Amino acid sequence: MNDSNVGVDVVIRSMHRGDIDSVVAIELQAFTSPWKAETFLGLIGRTGAELWVVEHSRVGVIAYGVLWYLLDQGQLANMAVAPEFLGQGLAARLLDHMLELACNRGIKSIYLEVRASNERAAELYLGFGFKEISRREDYYDLPKEDARVMRIEL
């Protein structure tokens, strides 16, 4: 589905247990080393973890994000958009939502890792004000690849 008006048909809300099958389906399409359903289930309702989904009124869950934090430090642990909805601004809307949430929680900085080859995601993060602060050599498997470590000060 490539609906140019997809933005008006979506809502960002907390992830629920009933969303897990849809989230894992997106995860399997987005990543070569995907998280398992148990990982998401273990984070739902956990103190210091915020899980969000973007839900389309006709299609269901089409994107998700995971932010965890301790004291004033946060980490954007996971975020993905269903492939058929890429390029429609959903990742930006979700990231904006999570950054606003982080500010409201008193989080001062957020870190993330992104594959060195994932230019689309890196450009999104840079556009929001994240800065690359280091690289982690051979951080990812399947295939082996460096991670760009990025941080934003809120």
Catalytic residue annotation: 113, 125
Cα-to-chain-centroid distance, residue 87: 15
Residues recorded for the chain: 154
Separation between Cα atoms, residue 10 and residue 60, nearest integer Å: 9
Separation between Cα atoms, residue 35 and residue 40, nearest integer Å: 8
Which own/partner contact pairs does 1-4 have at CB distance under 8 Å and 24+ positions apart?
1/59, 1/84, 1/85, 2/84, 2/88, 3/88, 4/88
